[in-house]
Structure 1
Amino acid sequence: MTRNGTTMIVNVYSAGHDYGNYALIMLNDQEVGFGFENYGCGLNVAVIDEVTGQTISCTTFDTCIDASSVTAFAELVENLPQGRIVAIAAKDDATLSLNDRAKKACESLGSYLIYYLTFRGSWAMIGQKGATVGTAVESVSGDSPVECCRSFNLPSLLESSTGQWQQKQKLQPPDLQRQYIFGSSVAISEEVAIIGARLADANSDKYAGSIYSFQLENGQWIQKQKLQPGDLQRGSCFGNSVAISNNIAIVGAYFAGAEGGQYAGSAYIFEFENGHWIEKQKIQPSDLQHGDNFGYAVAISGNIAIIGARLANSHSDQYVGSAYIFQLENNQWVQKQKLQPADLQRGDNFGTAVAISNDVAIVGARFANAEGGQYAGSAYIFNLENDQWVQKQKLQPADLKQGDNFGNSVAIKGDIAIIGADGVDAEGRLDTGTAYIFQLENGQWIEKQKLQPADLQRGDGFGTSVSISGDVVIVGAYGVDLEGHPDAGSTYIFQQENGQWMQKQKLQPPELQRSDSFGYAVATNGKFAVVGAHNADAQGNPYAGSAYIFEAGVN
């Protein structure tokens, strides 16, 4: 679907009990989806996607006599992503059970007149989530019917300022075997891509892992190398994480053994020299213990690397997690600091995801608790100050709920950070997932937007993976279905326009099959994107894996 932009018109009509007792919401001269005879007592709420112009949901909340319905209304609005369009028509009475929480929810849509709605009064409102109070289009009356109308200029869909993203190539090395899960990690820098296959065999050692390097030559991505350190052992899972910065790559092997015990983990540094990637160093902090999972996540920026150890213990609790900073000094990568916030609790998994951009690092703790419940998740910001990495902020969106997994993926570039929460629900659909945009303003990281495509369904896992480059964000949703193929997966492209991140495209190769998990790993350099589908079959081998290259077109 391609659209060059269009105008959408919403009309809302409301009449209280004594002045006609009706409600109606119209979208482009069509009833929005309730059915003309199905509007009920209370607030009739239509949620409309601000990108596609499609109706997402139509729900009547009996805010007259049903307190639970009032709570449900408030929760619906509170969980909406920024920018989502909401139209509300009151019928009969909508006030008797309406509480402050519900009115605050209306405020978040830009409403001011909700505080002037009286018993059996009329109220029509068209707003957007996150709008300034008083900017909604609305009308209220205690003695007559009301109506309001608002037009929206919908953005161009599936086209960015750089043109439409096109699939260029499907990558599957010829030596892939059953359960290699090639595509379980991906990284891209300029014209080089590295893709992990964390369960690849190494000689007779099963599940040792490997990575494959590809290079762009004459418009084609050509496999150049398969890399497997000589000391790999069975089950090391080398390639479960990978990152590139200029001519340096870092690769995690989170199940590798160490002096401290099994599954302690390790990371490897490679440098690109004379057209080849050369192993330079194996990294293992001296305090590693059994089961730390060091190398579960890796990131690099210039001569600084950050490596997550999601199950490391603290002095008082198990499995809180940690992250380590390494720096290149005199051709050696030297441990500079261990990061472990003091408020971590048992099982937080700090170090599940890591990202770094110059002197700012972000670390996810996907199982951390929040006011909304257990396993809501969190993310921590660190700044490099006077040669020390200092914790500056803990990020937890106010709408976090139990099991949201906020911090399961993170990415950062300059003053923009994106954080995935693949367990977030959306309007009655469990685990659809979401991603949050944060921006640095006056020394503080401020939540700016919640990304949640309107077509997400239960279990899609949107936010499993995230990447950012310039004004382009890419988010993976490995559980999305495709025409009868459950969990085929998909990836969504967003672009920043006038301060808002707009959905531009949904990537989903037509040959995807059941459980391919396309979108499990994503990376972009702004011009190209690489997406892993680690459960795809290859040459008759199930779960061998694959990866896809996409290129941004030019208008």
Structure 2
Amino acid sequence: MKRKSVSGTLIPILLFLAASHLGNCKKHSHQPLLLWGELSVSPVSNGAGELRQQSYLKAPNTSTSDQFGASSAISGETIVVGAPYEDSNTTAILQDSALSSTNDAGSDTGAAYVYVRSGGKWTHQAYLKAPNTTNGDHFGNSVSISENTIAVGAPGEDGNTTSIINGNDLSSSNKAGNDNGAVYVFVRNGNTWTHQAYLKAPNTTNQDQFGSSLAVSGETIVVGAPYEDSSTSAIVSGSDLTTTNDVGTDTGAAYVYVRSGSAWTHQAYLKAPNVYNQNYFGNSVAIDGNTITVSARSENSTTTSIISGNDLSITNHSGNGNGAVYVFVRNGANWNHQAYLKSPNASNQDSFGISVAISGDTVVVGADGESSETNAVLTGTDLSSTNRNGSNNGAAYVFVRNGSTWTHQAYLKAPNTNREDRFGGSVSIFGDWIVVGAAGEKSTSKEILSGNDLRSSNRQGFFVGAAYVFTRSKSLWTHKNYLKASNSANGHFFAGSVGISGNTILVGALGESSNTNWIINGTDLSSTNRNGNSNGAAYVFGM
């Protein structure tokens, strides 16, 4: 993908640090998975208090550097996994696992893969491609699913078209722009997936990278464009964005689309009330019903307060990469800014908002640059016991809403926190359960551990990765499980993306290096190998 010259970084620092270990692994600009809201369900642990690995998912046409698992999402019995560096120039949707017509004649076109569960076993259902696939589009950089609707982002798509195109005929689209970005909507009827719509920003501009993040809930999709350049701070309803401009630099924006029947229209353009250059508003988005959260990982205010309403005049720009999250609510067809969320221990380069997820009245925010060596879960807003003695250990923050008022409920840390683990790089929530990814975690352990005692883990590897499960009882959060891949290895970036739905957890590992192209149900991965390079894999955990 073509890059802008920016003082912030589109590619997570984690991947820069790992470059020497991943050989010719392609640069990756993925935004962590955004979760749709669901109802609270029974615990995901079994009677022994542990989860087990259910399945190991691979692309049927796996290839080197595809980075399958860079994005992933789960809803009920269906999983979608993105591979933004897949190289086929195919434009067809292929059902089941018959991918013999695919090729490697393109370059970083990207693909998404759909899997379904029946009788406890997962099978491949469909291979999704953009109808106007082009080199460098990175289709699959972001994915989201809500029942029978899947949205796939392609932030490198080059069309400067500003129109939504419903249906499969994209002949009116073009390639006259440069990383403008697009989102593609697919729907399922029975077992068959078809392309429903091609979404574009009404004020699309070169290098906005619309589709870097996205989330779908029912009939609504929200799309992030973190490199959009307008200095506008107003929410604009409808598709007339003539009041916007390009006088800022990477301020960022989010766009809301709604479906009536099978037709999609643009409903709203969301901006930060305290818009500022290089805040990258829209780097992560989430939606549940009539509530949207949009993060700005490089927002620079040193404020540690939650602010309700639209007046953010007390904020400042005296920090550096602290990060913020903005909450918007819908009344009828109108969206309004409800709250501005900050971490109680905000500090420079925390990247608070690198990931965000929402379920009902609970929001979880990842801050993979947070540097405290604290390994405890803390309740409330008093984080005075934390420190800044580490380096990119990472943290996650939980906020809850009562009426229209948001408060900080909990501060989540890995029980085995360590420098450069990047805990919080991905987050997901389902009712009273949260999964947090730490793609930089170093343990070569292949064990799933329960509770807070992770003494059997180690720090012998590099960028192996781990996922951590937390559960809430009343208002108290505790650490429940520590998840590792059964073929855990260096450079896997396990938990670069995470998702949870019901009693099933999904974990992506974009750096996994097996060239195996089949699904393995169970924990025995002895038939896998390390003959590839960043092919990628996804792992399913459950009862």
Q: Which residue of 2 aligns with 1:511?
A: 487
AA partner of residue 420 (structure 2):
G
1:122-521 equivalence runs, <5 A: 163-203=49-89, 204-259=105-160, 261-315=177-231, 316-371=247-302, 373-427=319-373, 428-483=389-444, 484-521=460-497
Partner amino acid for 2:275?
Answer: L
Amino acid paired to 1:192: T
- Within 2, Cα distance between the matches of 1:534 and 1:404? 23
Instruction: Name the CA shift for 1:161/1:241 in 2 (closer, same or farther; >3 Å).
Output: farther
Cα separation, partners in 2 of 1:440 and 1:215, compared to 1, 3 Å: same
Instruction: After TM superposition, give the deviation of residue 526 of structure 1 in Å.
Output: 2.3
2:508 is aligned to 532
Structure 2: runs of 5+ lacking an equivalent: 1-43, 90-104, 162-176, 232-246, 304-318, 374-388, 445-459, 516-530
Deviations 1:191-211 (A, max 9, x none): 000000000012322100000
Helix, strand or coil at the partner of 1:183: coil
Larger relative contact order (C-alpha < 8 A, sep ≥ 6)?
2
Task: Give the Cα separation in 2 of the matches to 1:397 and 1:259.
Answer: 37
Identical-pair percentage:
29
Q: Provide the C-alpha distance between the structure 2 equivalents of 1:348 and 1:230, rounded to a whole number of angstroms.
A: 33
For 1:469 and 1:324, locate their aligned partners in 2 and report how far apart those are by CA, in whole Å.
24
Give unmatched runs, 5+ long, in structure 1.
1-157
Determine the C-alpha separation between the residues in 1 that align with 2:223 and 2:390.
34
TM-score (norm 1): 0.70
User: Displacement of 1:163 after TM fit?
Assistant: 4.2
Give the structure with the higher percent strand.
1
Find the aligned partners of 1:514 and 1:433 in 2 and give their Cα distance: 20
- Please say if 1:542 is aligned against 2:533: yes
Contact 1:461 1:477 in 2 (8 A): yes
Contact 2:230/2:251 (<8 A) preserved: yes
Q: Mark the structure with the bigger radius of gyration.
A: 1
- Alpha-carbon offset, residue 393 of structure 1: 1.0
Calculate the aligned-residue CA RMSD, in Å. Answer: 1.6
Note the C-alpha offset of 1:443: 1.5
Q: Distance in 2 between matches of 1:223 and 1:292?
A: 33
State the Cα distance separating 1:491 from its structure 2 match: 0.1
> Is the Cα–Cα contact under 8 Å of residues 421 and 439 in structure 2 kept in the other structure?
yes
* 1:500–1:311 distance in 2 versus 1, CA, 3 Å: same
Match of 2:456 in 1: none
2:8 is matched with: none
Deviations 1:128-180 (A, max 9, x none): xxxxxxxxxxxxxxxxxxxxxxxxxxxxxx95789421101111123111100
What does residue range 45-124 of structure 1 map to in structure 2 within 5 Å?
A: none
Q: C-alpha separation between the residues in 2 aligned to 1:303 and 1:386?
A: 14
How far the C-alpha of 1:509 sits from its partner, in A, is 1.7
Code of the residue aligned with 1:199 in structure 2: it is: Y
Kept in 2, the 8 Å contact 1:370–1:401? The answer is no
Output the CA distance in 2 between the equivalents of 1:361 and 1:286: 20
Partner of 1:35: none
